[in-house]
Amino acid sequence: MPVLTIDSRQVEVEAGTTILKAAAKLGIDIPVFCYHDGLPVAANCRMCLVEVKGAPKPCPACEVQVRDGMEVLTQSPLVLEARKAVLEFILLNHPVDCPICDQAGECVLQDHYFAHSAGPSRIQVRKVHKAKAVPIGPNVMLDKERCINCTRCVRFCREITKTSQLAQVQRGNHTEITVFPGRQFDDPYSLCTVDLCPVGALTSRDFRFRKRSWLLKSIPAVCPECSRGCNVWVDVADGQVWRVRPRENQAVNRWWACDQGRLAFRRFEGQRADRALVDYAPRDATRAATMAAAATAAGRLQTIRSHGGRVVLVLSPMVSLEEGYAALRFASVILGEKLVLLAPRPDGTADSLLRTVDANANRTGLAKLAGLMGFEVADLGGFFASPAAVEVAGLLSVGAEYPVPPLPPGAKMSQAVTLSHCLDPVADKSTVLLPIPAHFEKDGHYVSTAGLVQRSHQALPPAEAVAQVHSLLSEMASKMGGTLGFTDLPSVRSAALSLAGTGEGSHA
Amino acid sequence: MVAKVKNVGQPPLNLTESLYVTELVRGLLTTNRHFWRNWLRRKDTATLEYPDRKRPYSPRWRGLHRLMLREDGSPRCVACMMCSTHCPANCITIVAREHPDPAIEKVPASFEIDLLKCIFCGYCEEACPCDAIRVDSGVHAQPVYGRDEAIIDLADLLSRGSQSTSKQGGRSL
Ligand code: SF4
Ligand code: SF4
Ligand code: SF4
Ligand code: SF4
Ligand code: FES
C-alpha cells in the first residue's frame, strides 16, 4: 500500500485512493465544491487544489490518486493563493444576493469565502446576469446566476436517477444549467439536487422563503412514506416542521430520499386530529378531556364484552413497534383476542433507487411482533369479506390512513374506537376518536423492509390534547378492570424491542 | 477590578440642628430662593416647559422604527430576517413572500415589531444589509391602551419611510 506525506504527516492508504480521502484520514480538511461522495468525480471547480512536490502545477485533490512517496502540501502559500484565486473566479459573476438567497447560512460558497478568501471584489465591469427564479419543475426553482457550474445536479440526474433531466448549455461566462425545451424537471428525486447544490442555485419550491436555515433545529428521524425507511433530518422551528432532508445512512438510503417522502409532512395539514371526538362531537382540546373520552370508549367496549360480543384490533402498519406492542398487549390481555387485522395503506410504485411497493413504514416489524406474541395476522379487507366479520361487535383501530372496507351484510358492528392522528375516512367511521401523535411527533422504532430496526426521534411535541397510544390504552385497560404491565414509554419500548430486535441498527 | 469605596459618615447634629425649626426655615429659604429666581429671571431655569418646549435630540437618538422605500415607493426590505435574527429582544416577526418580479424576488408579506418588547437598541438597523430598517425617525413610541396596539405593522413602518441614498443591491454592477 502506498505511503505518502501530507503536510509532513505520513499516512498509508489503499492504492487508488484520492489525495482528498487520504487527507481526510489524517483529519485534514480540503475545501471542495464539485466533489461529492455519492457522485462520480468531475474535478471542475478546482477548489480542492493542493501542491504535490514535483508536479508542475497544483493538482485537484478530489481526482488525483496517491502514489507511494508522494509529498502533498495543503497549506502552502501556493495552495492558499490558488484557493483565493479560484474563489475570486467563481465569484466573478456571482450575484451575491445572500439576503434573498435561501441557501444563506448553509452555503458552501459563503463558508469557503469566509474561510479562504474574504477579500473585496476587484471586478470593474458589468457582471453577466442570467435568469432568476425559474421554476424548472414542480419542486425545484433554479437561479441561473447563482450556479457555480459544479455539475453535481447534472451528475445526479445522469448517474443516480438516470433521468438525465438537467444539462449544462452554452460556454464560458454564459454556461448555465437548464432543462430540455418543453420538459419539466419532474424527477421523483428532484429535491436531492437542492441538497447537492452547494449554492442557492437550486432551491426547494416548498421550503422557499418559509424559514431561514439558521433558525432550524434538525432532529434525526425515519421517513414513514414507504417500507425502505429512509433516514431523514426533520428541520423544525416554532413548533412546526419546515423541511425534511435525507440523512446519510449507507445501509439504507445512502444520501438520498424521494420528493414524495420529503413533502409528506404536509399531507395532514389542516386535518390533524387535535382533540377527541365522541359520536362525532368534539371534546375540549385538553388532556383531561381526551382521557375522559378514552374512559367512555373503554366503557362502551366493556359493555360489548360483558354481553359476550367480540372486539377486534385493527392495526395500521404505519405505527411504531412501541405503539404496536401496546395495542397487541391490549388485544390479548383486555379483549382476549388472538386475531389482529393489519390495515395497510394501498401499495405505491417502486423504483430502482429507493421507493418500495409497500407504502407502510413498519409492516415487517409489526407482522413479526404479532407473530411472536402469538397472534394470527389477517388482512382487514379479507376479514371483512369473510363470514366471521358479521359477528364482530366492536373495532379498536390503532393508527389510520387505510381504506375502509364495506361492512359485511348483517354486521353486528356497533362501536369503532380509533386512535388516530388525522381526520381521514377512518375517523369519519369512528364512534370514538382519540388523538395520537403524528409520525414526527413521536419517538419510536420501525423495521424497514430489509429488516433493519431504526429509531425515529420526536421532532416536535404534539398538541396538548394528544396522548400517546400506550397511555390511552393503559387508561382504557384500567377502566376495563385490567392492566397491561407497563407504565411509561421506556417500559413499552424495552418490552417491544426485547421481542422484535435488540435496538436501533439491529436486524429484526 | 476592585471598586473604590468612599465612606460618607453621618456627622452628629449640633444643638441648633437638633432643634428642627432652624433647619426647616433654612430649607424653606432655599426653596424660596429658587422659586423667586426662576420667576424673575427665566433665562437660566433648569427645567423645560414640556410638552410646549422640547429639548433637541441628538441625531443619533433612536426612536420608532421605519422602513425605507425604493424609488417606486415599494419597501426596500427583502425579508432576509437579519434584523429579526439579530434582535436581542426577539420582537420582530417577518413573513416573507415571493415577489412577481424575479429581480426583486423576495419581499415581506408582513412585518411586525412589538414595541413593548423592543429595547430600542438599534441592532436591527445595524444588521440590515439593505438600508431598509432604521430607527432614526425621531418619533417616540406612543402610550397605548392595549398590548395589541403596541405592535406596529408594515403599513405603519412604511408610513415613516423615505428613500435611501444607497443603491439597492449594493455595489454590484
Ligand atoms: S449562493 Fe451563497 S453566496 Fe451566493 S447568494 Fe446564495 S448564499 Fe450568497
Ligand atoms: S445548479 Fe447547483 S449543483 Fe447544479 S451545477 Fe449549478 S451550482 Fe452545481
Ligand atoms: S431596536 Fe433592538 S430591540 Fe428593537 S427591534 Fe431593533 S434590534 Fe430589536
Ligand atoms: S429590514 Fe433589513 S434586515 Fe430586516 S428583513 Fe428587511 S432587509 Fe432584512
Ligand atoms: S472538488 Fe476537486 S475540483 Fe471540485
Chain B: residue whose CA lies nearest to A215: B85
pLDDT reported for residue B170: 55
Task: Count CB atoms within 10 A of the CB of residue A433.
Answer: 30
| Separation of CA A54 from chain center | 47
pLDDT at B37 over 90: no
CB distance A84 to A122 below 8 Å? no
Q: How confident is the model at residue A408 (pLDDT cuts 50, 70, 90)?
A: confident
Nearest to A219 by CA among A238, A257, A250, A245: A245
Which pairs with CB-CB distance under 8 Å and at least 24 residues apart come from B100-104? B102/A131, B102/A132, B102/A133, B102/A134, B103/A132, B104/B78
Phi-psi region of A133 (alpha: psi -120 to 50; beta: other; left: phi over 0): left
pLDDT reported for residue A499: 85
Mean pLDDT of A460-489: 94
**C-alpha span between A82 and A55 (Å, rounded):** 15
pLDDT reported for residue A368: 94
Q: Longest C-alpha distance within chain A, in Å?
A: 92
Distance from CA of A96 to the nearest CA of B (A): 8
Mean pLDDT of A159-183: 96
CB distance A213 to A346 below 8 Å? no
pLDDT reported for residue B57: 87
**C-alpha span between B9 and A497 (Å, rounded):** 75
**C-alpha span between A126 and A123 (Å, rounded):** 8
Return the bridge partners of A394, or none. A311, A415
- The finding on whether B154 has its CB within 6 A of some atom of ligand 4 is no
pLDDT reported for residue B32: 95
The C-alpha cell that represents B8 in the structure block:
460618607
Return the bridge partners of A341, or none. A314, A378
Q: How far is the CA of B77 from the centre of ligand 4 (A)?
A: 5
| Exposed / middle / buried, residue A155 (Cβ in 10 Å: 0-12, 13-18, 19+) | buried
| Exposed / middle / buried, residue A29 (Cβ in 10 Å: 0-12, 13-18, 19+) | exposed
The pLDDT > 90 percentage for chain A reads 92
H/E element, A178: strand A176-179
Q: How far is the CA of A148 from the centre of ligand 2 (A)?
A: 6
Mean pLDDT of A407-411: 86
Mean pLDDT of A260-266: 96
> Cell 369479506 appears where?
A385
The C-alpha cell that represents A130 in the structure block:
442570467
**C-alpha span between A210 and A243 (Å, rounded):** 10
The C-alpha cell that represents A43 in the structure block:
474535478
The C-alpha cell that represents A249 in the structure block:
445512512
- The finding on whether A35 has its CB within 6 A of some atom of ligand 5 is yes
The C-alpha cell that represents A339 in the structure block:
386475531
- The finding on whether A97 has its CB within 6 A of some atom of ligand 1 is yes
> How does the average pLDDT of chain B come out, rounded?
91
Mean pLDDT of B60-83: 95
Q: Is the peptide bond before B51 cis (omega within 30 degrees of 0)?
A: yes
Nearest to A205 by CA among A268, A259, A149: A259
H/E element, A115: helix A108-116
| Separation of CA A282 from chain center | 32
* Number of CB pairs, chain A paired with chain B, less than 8 A apart: 46
Return the bridge partners of B53, or none. none
> How does the average pLDDT of chain A come out, rounded?
95
Would you call A447 helix, strand, or coil by DSSP? strand
> Cell 432532508 appears where?
A245
Tell me the per-residue pLDDT of A48-71, one tens digit each, with 9 for 90 and over.
999 999 999 999 999 999 999 999
The pLDDT > 70 percentage for chain A reads 99
**C-alpha span between A495 and B6 (Å, rounded):** 70
The C-alpha cell that represents A361 in the structure block:
413504514
Contact (CB<8Å) B106/A100: yes
Tell me the per-residue pLDDT of B19-28, one tens digit each, with 9 for 90 and over.
999 999 999 9
Mean pLDDT of A237-247: 96
pLDDT reported for residue A119: 83
Edge-to-edge strand order for the sheet containing A3-6? A9-12, A3-6, A71-73, A49-52, A59-60
> Cell 449507507 appears where?
A250
Return the bridge partners of A246, or none. A232
pLDDT reported for residue A124: 86
Mean pLDDT of A398-405: 93
pLDDT reported for residue B173: 46
Q: How far is the CA of A153 from the centre of ligand 2 (A)?
A: 6
* Distance between first and last Cα of chain B: 52
pLDDT reported for residue B3: 81
pTM of the model: 0.90
pLDDT reported for residue B40: 85
Distance from CA of A131 to the nearest CA of B (A): 8
> Position A210: which residue type?
R
Residue nearest to atom 4 of ligand 2 (CA): A153
Q: Longest C-alpha distance within chain B, in Å?
A: 87
Contact (CB<8Å) A210/B96: yes
pLDDT at A508 over 80: no
H/E element, A154: helix A152-155
pLDDT reported for residue B1: 62
pLDDT at A429 over 80: yes
pLDDT reported for residue A480: 94
Mean pLDDT of A337-344: 96
**C-alpha span between A327 and A337 (Å, rounded):** 11
CB distance A87 to A113 below 8 Å? yes
- The finding on whether B78 has its CB within 6 A of some atom of ligand 3 is no
The alpha-carbon radius of gyration of chain B (Å, integer) is 26
- The finding on whether A91 has its CB within 6 A of some atom of ligand 1 is no
Residue nearest to atom 6 of ligand 4 (CA): B77
Contact (CB<8Å) B103/A132: yes
| Exposed / middle / buried, residue A325 (Cβ in 10 Å: 0-12, 13-18, 19+) | buried
Q: How confident is the model at residue A185 (pLDDT cuts 50, 70, 90)?
A: very high
pLDDT reported for residue A423: 95
Residue nearest to atom 2 of ligand 2 (CA): A197
Tell me the per-residue pLDDT of A346-391, one tens digit each, with 9 for 90 and over.
999 999 999 999 999 999 999 999 999 999 999 999 999 998 999 9
